[in-house]
Amino acid sequence: MAKATLTISSKNYSSWSLRGWLLTKFSGLDFEEIVTAPDDASARAEILLLSSSILVPCLRHDGATVWDTLAIAEYLNEAMPDAGLLPADRVQRAHCRSICGEIHSGFTTLRASLPVNLKGHFPGFKIWSRAQADIDRVWFIWRDCLAKSGGPFLFGETRTVADAMYAPVVTRFVTYDVKLEPRLKAYADTIMAMPEMKEWIAAAKEEPAEIEELEVEY
């Protein structure tokens, strides 16, 4: 059987690539990374939120080609069932899918005004009121999940799809110096301390290419 491949774009800027990569890492599937060129038009459109059809990350495994992040999550949950990507409990599983669907299709103002930029750090960043509404909703989701599960991850001791889906939000909070209450900060610190996150961020900081459109003040 050919080794699985995961096509991703910029590690510094691409939230969707980070999600797909974390999901594949969490699953335990052995895979080869394929990184699109910095000037690839489709990858650039994805990063700049200019495309309604996001074709990265793209997982190829055992005859399947899967390019939507939630579809990748569901595929990996079936292919690697022992990884526990979704909670075992039916109610928790439905909750996990719901909050993942919400981050997959919503929070557009948060995405646009606080773009992922792992090299950047902007203390005192001014946050629009509409972006703050998205942030407030993220905080509610995290509080609710952590209160029910006890942490340290959103659904308890095991990392799930939800932690991969919200990991780029954690990096946004770090980049733009968004202050968190102690319990939420503890969760964010847990995500940032994962070895997979450390590996991804180290690689992101080595990326030579810059995308000028993201180097602006919102």
Distances (CA, A) of 4 to 8, 97, 100, 123: 13, 25, 24, 40
pLDDT digit string (tens) for 157-213?
A: 999 999 999 999 999 999 999 999 999 999 999 999 999 999 999 999 998 856 554
- Mean pLDDT across the chain: 90
Three-state secondary-structure class, residue 19? helix
Which one-letter DSSP state was computed for residue 83? G
As a whole number, mean pLDDT of residues 39-50 equals: 57
Structure tokens at 47: 């990063």
Q: Minimal CA–CA distance to 201: which of 192, 189, 214? A: 192
Decide which of 61 and 55 is more confident.
Answer: 61
Q: What is the pTM of this model?
A: 0.91
Confidence of residue 40 (pLDDT cuts 50, 70, 90): low
